[in-house]
Amino acid sequence: MGTAVVVEGPGEHRLADHTPRDPGPGEALVAVHAVGICGSDREVYQGNRPEGYVRYPLTPGHEWSGTVRAVGAGVPADLVGRKVVGEGFRNCQVCDRCHAGETTLCTAGYEETGFTQPGAMAGTLTLPARLLHVLPGDADLTAAALLEPAACVAAAAIRANARPGERVAVVGTGTLGMFAVQFLRAGSPAELLVVGTRTDREALSRRFGATDFRTRDRELPDDMDVVIETAGSADAARLAASLLRRGGRLVLTGIPAPGAEGLDPTDLVVRQLEVHTVFGAPPAAWAHAVRVFGAGLLDPLPLVTHELPLAEFSQAVELVGSGDPKVGKVLLRP
């Protein structure tokens, strides 16, 4: 018996007794080490997540790490005791998009751990074993709890296809932005510019590999080869596009508020910009993130500023939405 966070509905939550669910065929039971909170979890709690993308009552938690404690029929027994992270999207595996490896575009409808299926803000999580990614035995599970947002950025890095020697940029200095810097740095760019609103992020950006840091009120280039946008606003998307050379490549990861004015289609066509978008992370992106993390090229720990017990869920949500520049990634520890 343990404890779980249950969000009954917008603005309503409680701590409930949690009994681990034995894994069925094809499933694994994971003891949760740490679970991250992001803006999506805040949307769940506040009740402003889009219709169809949340199902109450709900135990949140889609960013997590843990250790396999038991497996069901059909799952290799040697998975028990391994450190793991797991994909959130519960794809159908049979539609054409799933067969193409684009599981986040599954045509069977949206199902995701922590939003429509029980999440990791509990002592344990039982889920399909096929969603698990095994970590090295010496992996730091606190750092690994950030591999879900890292996988989303890995998807963006794969789409960006930045080649060695290209001039690349990141717009946004939050968790996703800092991961984007690390992924792009691993590709040996000639230049790596970070553009943001928080001057306090310059040191961290440079630590992760940025060669230049500028705020939006400074003179900015217009000849970058690749730009990854992570800030999540329409203004950031337009700014990101303005940094590109003609024929440059843009990857958008943020989701602006509904009704926001988007990019200028005339500008996109005339400058022949290549535009990609990312929502979630398919298996290939997860595998890439786990490999880069295992190789020591991804350092999530400097992004963690707070670790709290499950009982302080509401305080953790407030921290995430506080706007305090001293608040980075907030983790809950069951």
For the segment 192-244, what is each residue's pLDDT rounded down to a tens digit? 999 999 899 999 999 999 999 999 989 999 999 999 999 989 999 999 999 99
Closest CA to 27 of 108, 86, 111, 103: 86
Contact yes or no for 41/317 (Cβ under 8 A): yes
Mean residue pLDDT of the chain comes to 95
| Residue 264 DSSP SS3 | coil
Vertex 207 angle, CA 231 and 281, to 5°: 45
pLDDT band for position 50 (cuts 50, 70, 90): confident
Provide the 8-state DSSP code for 199: G
Strands 244-252, 274-277: pairing is parallel
Strands 167-171, 224-229: pairing is parallel
Strands (E), the chain: 2-9, 12-18, 27-37, 63-71, 83-86, 124-128, 132-134, 167-171, 191-196, 212-215, 224-229, 244-252, 274-277, 304-309, 329-333
Q: How far apart are CA 91 and CA 204, in angstroms?
A: 36
Q: Residue 325's pLDDT is what?
A: 86
Q: Which structure tokens are listed for 218? A: 């400074």
Could you tell me what percent of the chain has a pLDDT over 90? 91
